[in-house]
Amino acid sequence: MTASRLVLEPTGDLVALTRALCDLPSVSGDEAAIADAIEVALRRYPHLEVLRDGAAVVARTRLGRSARVVVAGHLDTVPIAGNLPTTLTGAGAGAQLWGRGTVDMKGGVAIQVALAAALTAPTRDVTWVFYDNEEVAADRSGLGRIAGNHPDWLAADFAVLCEPSDAGIEGGCNGTLRVEVRVPGVAAHSARSWLGTNAIHGAAEVLRRLAAYVAADVEVDGLVYREGMNAVLVRGGVATNVIPDECVVTVNYRFAPSRSVAAATAHVRELFAGFEVTVTDAASGARPGLGAPAAADFAAAVLARTGGRPAPKLGWTDVARFAALGIPAVNFGPGDPLLAHTDDEHCAVRQLHLCYDALRSWLTT
Amino acid sequence: MTASRLVLEPTGDLVALTRALCDLPSVSGDEAAIADAIEVALRRYPHLEVLRDGAAVVARTRLGRSARVVVAGHLDTVPIAGNLPTTLTGAGAGAQLWGRGTVDMKGGVAIQVALAAALTAPTRDVTWVFYDNEEVAADRSGLGRIAGNHPDWLAADFAVLCEPSDAGIEGGCNGTLRVEVRVPGVAAHSARSWLGTNAIHGAAEVLRRLAAYVAADVEVDGLVYREGMNAVLVRGGVATNVIPDECVVTVNYRFAPSRSVAAATAHVRELFAGFEVTVTDAASGARPGLGAPAAADFAAAVLARTGGRPAPKLGWTDVARFAALGIPAVNFGPGDPLLAHTDDEHCAVRQLHLCYDALRSWLTT
């Protein structure tokens, strides 16, 4: 099958639809073909208004309902690793779908496509959002681009992001901050080391504070967010006979959504008092937002279908972009997030159906 | 002037000879032209037997004296840094010769060439050794190659290496040992850091021991050698969202010549007990060897000419190769060793003459 000939059958078998979406490689930056296929498939349905921006597709009902919800997912994957085309193992309750994208997040996208086609008269107006470039630097994000170009396309009372969450609601997300802690030194030949100042030895105190740091568990709107403060990179030294004149420790702080970026930055600066700290990357977290009426209804629908209670999301996801737009948002999708990006990425077929059913139930009752 | 036309005048002006040797670029691996020039120049003197091995030249008297000494120097330099051709500043006692090689070690080589030509009947037989590839990995050393191919060429009771020593005798040298101290960890996404084990945090203890280490001063044969124990490189982490699964600290131990490599290795392993330690590079030091009769005479001649008493050499030099051959050896040459390899490398002209005079005095009385 070539990209130009991919024809999606939104109302057919959900597993077949998921496989078709996975088998069309769509690594970040190369999502045009999959966006084309989704756009063509959804334009067949007169209850949907279909919009396009680059490799992003938006399809929405215009029923004049009192509430509107966004259900969103990204089209791109991380690079494939010899794990396409997909394979199916087992049967019945034990069936598993293997391959790149089965978890992150073509299962969620397949559910969106299928429900967008099937739900001609949802009880809430729905905006189905399919976007590009989620797995790369934030400034390339298709969702960010839409928010800039067409903010009205994202207007909603609540958003569900179909990121893998093991078919349970994961609310909000931690924020993330990266800083470089720089320790200076004075270079010298290592045969005359006393003429220099060893920057790597100076970094001992930075690592000591990190090793001694006890990360907090922070309750936000009833969910407990576990934080983390970690060195992720360390670099120092230029040659094996030179006393190093610089050592840089890159630290990643994952912080609860009740803290602002400014508060998180102040906390890190306090931790490394006495050292030069440079912020290189920062993104706010998102509060779980489960107090919103649409969110409470959604949580009830999921609880009824899956038995799952909301849990905190620990990694950063695009729910934070919705939070920044003032739209409460949660993650809810098939697949174990720990398997995302792994070479043995695979998803339980049962979760595809569970998530489909829960969303359908919520949007039809 | 092209390389093929360089004609040396061994018995002319010493500064002009030094400049000619500097101005012919001879970065390690590219010493053939300078070796040719020295070979051609010295073959004119019937009191010398001239031998050649690759880009190394050996010229020796065969007078049947009761003692034989080696006077040796390397022909290569580290890469030039826009600091050639040489320039001369000042005059009289303040004259300075600037440029790559003026310190390390074309001044010493010029003195060797000049004295080899001038001393037709030295009081000791002399073997003048000019060799290639000193500034690179030890296994490329021209001196090591000669020791392997023609051990008889190096036979002697004592050796002087004309490395820069500020015109004072520097005896022996420290040994050097490099090890990698590896701290393992367990990778995880930094959003779920508690699932991993942070190798960089684990390295805090390695750096703590290094920062707390107090290097020893060790007296050997009357000279005090200052040791050093330093991290020279640290590397850890693979990405800014991954808990690092490995951190490697490269440590350079400079140890007094009274310690063997085995003893130095044991000391480092003890210091980093509990961590994986891999030796990557080791070279013995050399005791000063000033007890040998030829060495004592030499020290007296230098003291008389320059007023300088022997001092310990701290960096590793090829005196350790002579020590390994059972030949006591010292460093003695013009130029401040702290200026070696620097962009503003320069040598006091006065030291060229001082060293020439001291060696001439020793070899003629």
Convert the pLDDT of each residue in A266-287 to its tens digit: 999 999 999 999 999 998 888 8
CB contact under 8 A, B281 and A247: no
- Closest approach of B359 to chain A, Cα-based (Å): 27
CB contact under 8 A, B190 and A241: no
- Closest approach of A115 to chain B, Cα-based (Å): 31
Query: CB within 8 A of B168, min separation 6: which ones?
Result: B302, B306, B308, B309, B310, B311, B332
CB contact under 8 A, B237 and A242: no
Instruction: Sheet with A96-98: list strands edge to edge.
Output: A87-89, A96-98, A346-348
For residue range A232-261, list pLDDT tens digits in order. 999 999 888 889 999 999 999 999 999 999
For residue range B240-290, list pLDDT tens digits in order. 888 999 999 999 999 999 999 999 999 999 999 999 999 999 988 888 878
Q: How far apart are CA B310 and CA B170, in angstroms?
A: 6
Residues from chain A contacting residue B203 (CB–CB below 8 Å): 207, 234
Q: How far apart are CA A166 and CA B230, in angstroms?
A: 49
Catalytic residue among B125, B134, B166, B227: B134
Other C-beta atoms within 10 Å of B271: how many? 18
- Closest approach of A289 to chain B, Cα-based (Å): 20
Residue A343: per-residue pLDDT? 87
Residues from chain B contacting residue A234 (CB–CB below 8 Å): 200, 203, 234-237, 244, 247
CB contact under 8 A, B191 and A316: yes
Residues from chain B contacting residue A232 (CB–CB below 8 Å): 190, 200, 237, 239-244
Contact A132, A74 (CB under 8 A): yes
Stated pTM of the model: 0.76
Residue A5: per-residue pLDDT? 59
CB contact under 8 A, A241 and B252: yes
Tell me the average pLDDT across B5-33.
94
For residue range B314-331, list pLDDT tens digits in order. 778 899 899 889 898 899
Q: How far apart are CA A170 and CA A161, in angstroms?
A: 10
For A312, what's the count of Cα atoms within 13 Å in the CB-facing half-sphere?
26
Residues from chain B contacting residue A254 (CB–CB below 8 Å): 190-191, 193
Of B178, B193, B201, the CB nearest to A240: B178
Q: How far apart are CA B14 and CA B114, in angstroms?
A: 7
Q: Residue A252: in which H helix or E strand, if any?
A: strand A246-255
Q: How much of chain B exceeds pLDDT 70, in percent? A: 99
Residue of A nearest to B235 (CA): A235
Q: How far apart are CA A33 and CA B27, in angstroms?
A: 56
For residue range B77-131, list pLDDT tens digits in order. 998 888 999 999 999 889 999 999 999 999 999 999 999 999 999 999 999 999 9
Residue B3: per-residue pLDDT? 44
CB contact under 8 A, A281 and B215: no
The series of mean pLDDT values per 10 residues for chain A, 365 residues long, is: 69 96 95 97 98 98 96 95 94 94 97 98 98 90 96 95 94 92 93 94 98 96 93 94 95 95 98 98 87 85 86 86 90 93 93 96 94
Residues from chain A contacting residue B234 (CB–CB below 8 Å): 200, 203, 234-237, 244, 247
Residue of B nearest to A214 (CA): B194
The dihedral sign for the CA sequence A27, A31, A34, A38: positive
Residue A133: exposed, middle, or buried by beta-carbon count in 10 A (0-12, 13-18, 19+)? buried
Residue of B nearest to A235 (CA): B235
Residues from chain B contacting residue A202 (CB–CB below 8 Å): 211
Residue B5: per-residue pLDDT? 59
Largest separation between any pair of C-alpha atoms in chain A: 80
CB contact under 8 A, A232 and B203: no
Of B193, B201, B215, the CB nearest to A207: B201
The ipTM estimated for the assembled molecules is 0.76
- Closest approach of A319 to chain B, Cα-based (Å): 15
Phi/psi of residue A338, nearest 5 degrees: -70, -20
Bridge partners, A236 (sequence order)? A247, B234
The model's confidence at residue B308, banded by pLDDT at 50, 70 and 90, is confident
Residue of A nearest to B194 (CA): A228
Q: Choose among A137, A138, A128, A32: nearest CA to A75.
A: A32
For chain B, state the CA radius of gyration: 23
Residue of A nearest to B251 (CA): A240
Q: Choose among A166, A103, A160: nearest CA to A129.
A: A160
Residues from chain A contacting residue B243 (CB–CB below 8 Å): 230, 232
The model's confidence at residue B178, banded by pLDDT at 50, 70 and 90, is very high
Residue A258: per-residue pLDDT? 93
Contact A85, A102 (CB under 8 A): no
Q: Could you write out the DSSP letters of every residue in B286-334?
A: B---TTSHHHHHHHHHHHHHH-PPPEE--S--THHHHHHTT--EEE--S
Tell me the average pLDDT across B186-215.
95
Residue B66: per-residue pLDDT? 94
Where do we find the tokens 């990995």?
B137
Joined together, the tokens standing for residue A355 give 């998530």
Residue A305: per-residue pLDDT? 86
Residue A3: per-residue pLDDT? 44
- Closest approach of A167 to chain B, Cα-based (Å): 19
